[in-house]
Amino acid sequence: MRHEALLSRGAGRFVRQLLDLAGPGWTIVRAGERPWASATFDGLRLRITMRPGGGGGHDNAELCARIEQADFGVIRYLVAEIAARTERDAILVEALLIAQA
């Protein structure tokens, strides 16, 4: 089963855009979301682990920088925070999506 099927629509859209940005060969190893709220906003906190398929040749540090600088267009959400870091042979992405009124 694809990971997007286990996520809300907003989180699934974010994951698909993340994979598009990463390019061919990348797969989602783990994806999770949990509700998030402050006194004035509601949203989702996402945690995604992605790994390149096949051989090496991937510049994970460069991809982390591209992820953090990307402009994600998730319908009904604003990507308020995003962090990406290399973790062994994978990339861990954490994001906060704020629901738009």
Domains of the chain plus CATH, in order, are: 3-99 (3.30.70)
Query: What is the model's pLDDT at position 57?
Result: 62
Query: What is the model's pLDDT at position 59?
Result: 86
Given a cut of 60, whether residue 29 has pLDDT beyond it is yes
Asked if residues 53 and 25 have their Cβ atoms less than 8 Å apart, the reply is: yes
pTM of the model: 0.88
Mean pLDDT of 51-74: 87
**Whole-number percent of the chain with pLDDT over 70:** 91
Any residues with CB less than 8 A from the CB of 91 and at least 6 apart, and which? Answer: 22, 49, 50, 51, 60, 63, 64, 67, 84, 85
Given a cut of 90, whether residue 72 has pLDDT beyond it is yes
